[in-house]
């Protein structure tokens, strides 16, 4: 396809799912135990038709105070993207790297705000190298595919102009 038909547009960003639990409140607010944070993060995508795709980033943060949970917060930030005029390989890279890179700052802000509103210091999620994250997921799902998808030299990411 010609470059004229190449489209990569963000249509909408939204908080798709969010939950916060403080199972041991209020006693956790007077507990002097040093908190320990645990993080889990994942991405997903769903083809919507008409060159539209929903891409989501889900994060779970667990704050432990000794053997008790201070808080458990889980949120899924999603967005709808219009992607057309790119190869299947480029589409896979856009959905796995570029789209999560765009969505993640919204998720970070929402989680920090939610945790702070629950009377804890805000949690600031670290930056993520989405290319490395994508390649790791691909190698776990299908060894050898990640090297091919990202190219053998450098990132190999080709974004539409």
Query: pTM for the full model?
Result: 0.81
The predicted structure's pLDDT at residue 151 = 45
pLDDT surpasses 80 at 161? no
Mean pLDDT for 27-37 is 88
pLDDT of residue 16: 97
DSSP 3-state of 20? strand
Instruction: Identify the H or E element spanning 57.
Output: strand 52-65
Residue 160 has pLDDT above 70, yes or no: no
The answer, yes or no, to whether residue 72 has pLDDT greater than 70, is yes
Average pLDDT over residues 114-127: 90
- How many CB atoms are closer than 10 A to CB 20? 16
**By percentage, how much of the chain surpasses pLDDT 90?**
66
State the pLDDT at residue 156: 39
Q: What's the CA gap between 138 and 22, in Å, rounded?
A: 35
Q: For position 144, what pLDDT does the model report?
A: 58
- Using CA atoms, how far apart are residues 156 and 158, in angstroms rounded to an integer? 6
Q: Which residues contact 97 (CB under 8 A, 6 or more apart)?
A: 130, 131, 134, 157
What pLDDT digit, counting tens, does each position of 34-54 carry? 889 999 999 999 999 999 999
> Per residue in 86-115, pLDDT tens?
999 999 999 999 999 999 999 999 999 999
Residues 117-127: what's their mean pLDDT? 89
Q: Is the dihedral of CA 20, 120, 114, 65 positive or negative?
A: negative
């Amino acid at each position: 396809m010609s470059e004229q038909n190449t489209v990569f547009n963000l249509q909408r960003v939204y908080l798709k799912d969010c939950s916060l639990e403080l199972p041991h409140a209020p006693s956790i607010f007077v507990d002097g135990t040093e908190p320990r944070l645990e993080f889990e993060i994942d991405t997903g995508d769903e083809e919507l038709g008409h060159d539209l795709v929903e891409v989501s980033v889900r994060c779970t943060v667990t704050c432990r105070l000794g053997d008790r949970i201070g808080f458990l917060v889980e949120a899924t930030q999603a967005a709808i993207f219009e992607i057309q005029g790119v190869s299947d390989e480029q589409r896979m890279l856009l959905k796995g790297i570029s789209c999560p890179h765009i969505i993640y700052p919204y998720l970070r802000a929402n989680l920090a705000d939610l945790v702070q509103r629950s009377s804890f210091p805000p949690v600031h999620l670290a930056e993520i190298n989405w290319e490395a994250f994508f390649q790791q997921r691909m190698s776990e799902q299908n060894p050898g595919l990640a090297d091919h998808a990202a190219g053998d030299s450098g990132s190999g990411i080709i974004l539409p102009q």
